[in-house]
Structure 1
Amino acid sequence: MKEKFEISVAAWSWRRMFEAGQIKQIDQPRLAREAGATGLELVNSFFPSPQYDYLQELKKIAANEGIRILLIMCDGEGSMYAPDFKERRQAIINHHKWLDIAAVLGCHTIRCNSGYGVVPAVEAMKNAADSFYELCDYARQYNLNVAIENHWGLSSHPDWLVGLMKMVDVDNFGTLPDFGNFPDDVDHYRAVEMMMPFAKAVSAKCHDFDAQGNEIHTDFERMMKIVFNAGYHGYVGVEYEGGKLGEIEGVKACVKLLNRFREGN
């Protein structure tokens, strides 16, 4: 089973190296190229400066490495389904700057979190729908997408997340299915299948590998078949979160695994 798609790397894969001061964000396009990828997914907390000159430098370095900057993963910007309207409004405004930055870098999407805190699911969906509808309206000026990953909380429950997609119902709002990040009582394969019709990107989560290079927690052949059956042929992003391999080696192992399913390899 081989199909056409490209491989990207989520910068979160190198988080320990970044936090230890071993690399900077500016090094990540090179690391992505050396891993065998052609795309990069940035993390908002890794930006040393959002100033225009820095963004232009980062964009130039990525281009020189043959790497396309695809999206920005945005954390820590507030709850989009908070009960308090002012809190939700501030969360929307907090995300505006990342859409501005994504536009400068040539991204196609920003990834947001749905929210946090104990809020009844029905109320949370309505609040989130209002927030994301407004944020998507702001994103439309740049032809950018807004996506939600199954990133814990209510977003990790596929029925709730699909319900939110249908409630917002705009073409630049979608999902970022992650092969992991689901509670134990959720069928990962069914959940990804439910999310794929709305997918703006895909995250191939990797932790550990067997002697044959297979990811031991996820059947990648089964997952990639779900991805392809949905008609998706965009970038599939490596996100390495294991601890047995170093982050450089772990990313390369996941890229190697994905290449088994990639036409031309």
Structure 2
Amino acid sequence: MKLGLSTYSLHGKLSSGDMTVLDVIDYAAEHGAEHVEIVPLSYSLTDNPEWIDQIVEHAKQRGIELSNYAIGANFLTDSEEAYEQEIQRVIREVDIAAQLGVKLMRHDVASSPNVSIANFNTHLEKLANACRRIAEHAATYGITTSVENHGYLIQHADRVQTLVQAVNRDNYKTTLDVGNFVCADENPVAAVQKNLPFASMVHIKDFYLRPADRNPGAGWFTSTSGTYLRGAIIGQGDLDMWEILRIVKASGYDGYLSVEFEGMEDCLIGAKVGLDNVRRIWDAV
């Protein structure tokens, strides 16, 4: 197992301009991380290709692996032309992943206000076709692409598996976010067990949960059925992180664990405590 940090964890500092991606790599190295996951939110490697070599070289200097490249995408488009443009855009992002030297890349698949199983089934083959084409391009670099349980429409464990099986490529798997299942009102312990065999990467995230009839106020969002959710420092939220990490460890998973902090606390504190807690819990279970 290699424990590391998603640059998304320090999104607050990146978006304010207080830190750069190179600073995040320094922060990760100073707090015992073994890898950094590149998530271009608040920055763009497409618009700033000169940063790619800088990131690769700086990570090498700090002894940090670059583990994964994670981007947004949505293949539920208004036209066939837009659908093809989105596929080609993501294919170009695969080329960036190759320049980074990573062997894992997550791209989102779909976002829709209609999260029904009927809508999922209607668009499954269209979504699978896009992912299949991208995976085939990624295979030329030896890169495994993946879908995350993310975005409501494809957030349930069974839907993730269905898409992975429909794509039917050896280098197409899932980035398994242990926390995101609660957004679809699934038990994360059970859902993690279901999807671990399909995982290329594991994100560690925690949440606070409150009943739908008890609005906690600003800073919270809702699950599909209305449960209130808020990001938490890993190990301090309402998820059974001990049992989740025990299951991951017992499965024999020996890949990357990536800390994702998205709470209201200071992100520098949230990321550090998250790293410390995952390391401590992993050793204990």
| Same fold, judged at TM 0.5 (above) | yes
Paired position in structure 2 for 1:231? 252
Moved more, 31-40 or 254-263: 254-263
Consecutive unaligned residues in structure 2, runs of 5 or more: 207-230
- RMSD over aligned CA atoms reads 2.2
Paired position in structure 1 for 2:63? 66
Task: Determine the C-alpha separation between the residues in 2 that align with 1:171 and 1:125.
Answer: 18
Residue 260 of structure 1 aligns with an amino acid whose one-letter code is R
Paired position in structure 2 for 1:176? 175
Bigger RCO (CA 8 Å, 6+ sep):
1
Large movers: runs of 4+ above 6 Å: none
Shift of 1:45: 3.4
Q: Deviations over 1:201-247 (max 9, x none)?
A: 000013435xxx83222211111122123331111000011113x11
Task: Determine the C-alpha separation between the residues in 2 that align with 1:247 and 1:43.
Answer: 15
Q: 1:9 to 1:161 in 2, by over 3 A?
A: same
Paired position in structure 2 for 1:152? 151
1:90 aligned onto 2:85: yes
1:199 aligned onto 2:190: no
Contact 1:25/1:46 (<8 A) preserved? no
SS in 2 for 1:142: coil
Shift of 1:52: 5.1
Contact 1:82/1:116 (<8 A) preserved? no
Moved more, 66-75 or 114-123: 114-123
Contact 1:7/1:236 (<8 A) preserved? yes
Residue 93 of structure 1 aligns with an amino acid whose one-letter code is Q
Residue 123 of structure 1 aligns with an amino acid whose one-letter code is T
- The alignment of Structure 1 onto Structure 2 pairs a total of residues equal to 255
Q: 1:262 to 1:74 in 2, by over 3 A?
A: same
SS in 1 for 2:87: helix
Shift of 1:38: 0.9
Matching of residues 97-176 of structure 1 within 5 Å: 97-117=92-112, 118=114, 120-176=119-175
Task: Determine the C-alpha separation between the residues in 1 that align with 2:198 and 2:184.
Answer: 23
Residue 120 of structure 1 aligns with an amino acid whose one-letter code is N
Shift of 1:108: 1.3
Contact 2:22/2:58 (<8 A) preserved? yes
